[in-house]
Chain A
């Protein structure tokens, strides 16, 4: 098993599938009266959050507690961090306290990589800057597999502010590793340069997986991709982006790239609609779509706990 989960690129197809299978077992636990496993008793998991993200922190906290780990929540607010302590000093402190795993959310891309060089325990990336959010990708993949029965061969459209999205990067890496084809859709201003090449590195098949080339595409026209799409994942688009001229107005963005009911009808019958949350209803997604039977948005939250339990379980030596 790998030691850290800093990027979805840390996962080959075999490992990713193992995590998803383990998550399914963890999900079964949620139906029981006693939702707890003794697996991580005596182990310490630190949630080190430099950004407010109540939903992600709670999800990790629930995951660790259901595995009987001791959980320490270390929030940047009200701690020495706000007094200017460096990440390295914080890391050494956590190291001295014997943290077995550190779950880190940080506004700077690559902070989990730096942290991993300073602590002995496992590092789990819970979202770093505009880089990655690998457990979100795992819970998304888990949700797709639950709804559609497979990932291999699916056509997935990820729509919106790909440039600033850590969710998009992790999903492209994980889903293509697992055999899906991903099309990134948005205005050209919000699609980062060379993304198809950047996230399909090399032609070497990852262990147990298929070659990755040509699995990532780009489109600027949402309407043209919907008919052939099994999964459409809408990304949150911050309205502040229009002040930076990424697009002219929220209305224009919504008209061109928002998922409304007429667009939803273009999707195949079985297709599902996903969103990592929090949503801007009426901006990137219409309320009728968000609340439709195709929407998996609430399931994604529930699946988040199972996926994170699986990650902690496997990283911390539940040698499956």
Chain B
């Protein structure tokens, strides 16, 4: 194994061409020689991306994804750290399960896999899981979420927000008032009416966010809002942030690009929760991301087995894979605003999670977690070419800008020449 790399002629965050020396896992000072030289002419270096919202499906649905295959997909997408959601089988609601996921991540060794713990036992929304035990486990859990389900009970949500203050934890809420979304299949609006599919109204998300920011303010806790999808949610967040509430929020790449019109095919590859919204929501989400009302991009990478998607819309599981296409989608939406992209996809997520060693500037002495992107490349998305075990990408046949050429995790390449090293 080589231990030093010279990345020649790279543009750090779109700046002037420079050489970047990586030695002993960190960015080294000045020039010099290295065991291996990488010609990075035309490539842009970004701090390794950090995904606060990934479904790796292991344990339980290894036919859809494993920690290893998901890690590989993440590395190929330019990520060096991913947070694995708790809705596995068994649910990651004990120290044992989160440690298992954490250990599998270490064994795969392609990205840092940080488990998210469930807020409630079995994601059932009735009783707090042992949050403290997960926090003090080897996995060191700091983010807790019942993602896939909303912590709908206001008293339980209040308690969760309060309880995690003891270990600087954060509750990541899947904002969906369940009584307003019973049987919901897609965004409630003109298209759902035409297609005869039960609507998922925007207010079901906005009402929970409004409630939760008030709860977080009341108890002085931190709140993170998963996959914000509506213009109304943006307004609620803007208001809360102006009041000084300690709330952060994420948006997925697909909610920045796709709209509910795609459901007209009845192809469940476009079924996702929260659902694809309207063009005006997409516009509001893009503006909020630029402005900072929405802090980060998170993939909500949700692999599903073929049989869970090749069926009737109503019977299909919601979700899309996203790790390998996130940066290209964001590039197509934001353009080459590298500073902004680094902030929204690396630094801010690392900061929210309290994750040391990721999302740092590529200055001397910092851990060499970074990715190299060729912004001039174009790629047609081919589901069969994905490293993820699942194929449920909504971008099949779409041409997206940007190609991830290399990714380094603590100074060692996980991706070289656009291919995973293992």
Q: Given that A193-B190, A194-B189 are contacting pairs, would A111 and B196 also be in contact in the complex, using a CB cutoff of 8 Å?
A: no
Q: Is the C-beta of B193 less than 8 angstroms from some C-beta in chain A?
A: yes
Q: Is the C-beta of A128 less than 8 angstroms from some C-beta in chain B?
A: yes
For A193, the chain B residues whose CB sits under 8 A away are 188-190, 192-193, 199
* Set B189, B197, B310: member contacting A110, Cβ < 8 A: B197
CB pair A130 B312 closer than 8 Å:
no
For A131, the chain B residues whose CB sits under 8 A away are 195-197
Q: Of the 9-residue stretches A27-35, A195-203, A277-285, which lies at the interface with chain B?
A: A195-203
Closest to A50 in B: B312
* Set B193, B199, B266, B314: member contacting A113, Cβ < 8 A: B266
A130-B266 Cα distance, complex, nearest whole Å: 14
Q: For chain B residues 148-205, which have a beta carbon within 8 Å of chain A?
A: 185, 188-199
For A199, the chain B residues whose CB sits under 8 A away are 193-194
For B194, the chain A residues whose CB sits under 8 A away are 169, 198-199, 201
Closest to A118 in B: B310
CB pair A195 B193 closer than 8 Å:
yes
Chain A nearest CB from B230 CB (Å) reads 14
Q: Is the C-beta of A189 less than 8 angstroms from some C-beta in chain B?
A: no
How many interface residues does chain B have, given as a range? Answer: 20 to 34
Q: Is the C-beta of B265 less than 8 angstroms from some C-beta in chain A?
A: yes
CB pair A108 B189 closer than 8 Å:
no
Q: Given that A108-B315, A110-B266, A110-B313 are contacting pairs, would A130 and B196 also be in contact in the complex, using a CB cutoff of 8 Å?
A: yes
Q: For chain A residues 80-118, which have a beta carbon within 8 Å of chain B?
A: 86-88, 106-111, 113-114
Q: Is the C-beta of A166 less than 8 angstroms from some C-beta in chain B?
A: yes
How many interface residues does chain A have, given as a range? Answer: 20 to 34
Q: Is the C-beta of A132 less than 8 angstroms from some C-beta in chain B?
A: yes
Q: Is the C-beta of B307 less than 8 angstroms from some C-beta in chain A?
A: yes
Q: Is the C-beta of B384 less than 8 angstroms from some C-beta in chain A?
A: no
CB pair A194 B315 closer than 8 Å:
no
Q: For chain B residues 305-358, which have a beta carbon within 8 Å of chain A?
A: 307, 310-315
For B190, the chain A residues whose CB sits under 8 A away are 193-194, 197-198
Q: Is the C-beta of A192 less than 8 angstroms from some C-beta in chain B?
A: yes
For B188, the chain A residues whose CB sits under 8 A away are 193
Chain B nearest CB from A200 CB (Å) reads 10
Chain B nearest CB from A238 CB (Å) reads 15
CB pair A198 B193 closer than 8 Å:
yes
For B266, the chain A residues whose CB sits under 8 A away are 109-111, 113-114
Chain B nearest CB from A18 CB (Å) reads 25
16 contacts between A and B (CB under 8 A): A86-B307, A109-B197, A110-B195, A110-B266, A110-B314, A111-B266, A111-B312, A128-B196, A129-B196, A129-B314, A132-B196, A169-B196, A193-B188, A194-B189, A198-B193, A199-B194
Footprint of A on B, CB under 8 Å? 185, 188-199, 265-267, 307, 310-315
